[in-house]
Structure 1
Amino acid sequence: MKITNSNTADIPEIFRLYRLATAFQKTKKCVQWPEFSTELVSKEIAESRQWKLMIGQIVACVWAVTFEDPEIWEEKDVDKAMYIHRIATNPEYRGQHLVEHIVTWSKGYAQENKLDYIRMDTVGENLGLISHYKKCGFEYLGLTKLKSTVSLPAHYENACVSLFQIKL
Structure 2
Amino acid sequence: MKSLTVENTTLADLEFVFELFESSIQYQEKKGYQVWRNYDRNALINDIQNKNQYKILMDGEIAIIFSVCYSDKIIWREREQADAIYLHRIVVNPTFKGQRLFGEILAWTKNRASQLNLKSVRMDTWDHNPEIVEYYKSFGFEVVEKFVTPNSEELPEHNRNLPITLLEIKP
TM-score (normalizing by structure 2): 0.90
**2:39–2:157 CA contact under 8 A, matched in 1:** no
State the alpha-carbon separation in 1 of the partners of residues 165 and 128 from structure 2. 6
Consecutive unaligned residues of structure 1, counting only runs of 5 or more, are: none
> 2:65 maps to what in 1?
62
Structure 2 Cα separation of the partners of residues 41 and 96 of structure 1:
24
> CA 1:147 to 1:16, structure 2 compared with 1: closer, same or farther past 3 Å?
closer
Structure 2 distance, partners of 1:121, 1:87, is 11
Contact 2:86/2:122 (8 A) holds in 1: yes
1:141 to 144, 159, 163: 144
Asked if the contact 1:31–1:155 (Cα under 8 Å) also holds between the matched residues in 2, the reply is no
Percent of residue pairs identical = 29
CA RMSD of aligned residues (A): 1.6
Q: Partner of 1:31: helix, strand, or coil?
A: coil
Change (3 A) 1:31 1:110: same
Aligned to 1:76: 79
Structure 2 segments unaligned to the other structure (5+ residues): none
Q: What number of residue pairs does the alignment pair up? A: 168
Residue 117 of structure 1 pairs with residue 120 of structure 2 = yes
Aligned to 1:153: 156
CA displacement at 1:147 relative to structure 2: 4.5
Measured against aligned partners, the alpha-carbon deviations of 1:69-117 in whole angstroms (never above 9, x if no partner) come to: 1111111112411111111001111110100111111110111111111
Is this contact kept in 2: 1:145–1:159, CA < 8 A? yes
Tell me, yes or no, if the aligned pair for 1:144 and 1:163 is still in contact at 8 Å: yes
Cα distance between partner residues in 2 of 1:24 and 1:85: 18
Determine if contact 1:100/1:136 at 8 Å carries over to the other structure: yes
Q: 1:79, 1:116 within 8 Å by CA — same for their partners in 2?
A: no
Residues 1:145 and 1:41: Cα distance change in structure 2 (over 3 Å): closer
- TM-score (structure 1 length as normaliser): 0.92
1:44-69: CA deviations, max 9, x gaps?
Answer: 12221010000012100001111111
Residue 71 of structure 1 contacts residue 148 of structure 1 at CA under 8 Å; is this kept in 2? no
Equivalence map 1:75-94=2 (5 Å)? 75-94=78-97
Matches within 5 A, 1:44-63: 44-63=47-66
Matched, 1:42 2:41: no
Contact 1:51 1:63 in 2 (8 A): yes
Residues in 2 aligned to 1:167 and 1:57: alpha-carbon distance in whole angstroms: 31
Amino acid at match of 2:87: I
Opposite residue 120 of structure 1, the aligned amino acid is: M
Q: Which amino acid aligns with 1:32?
A: V
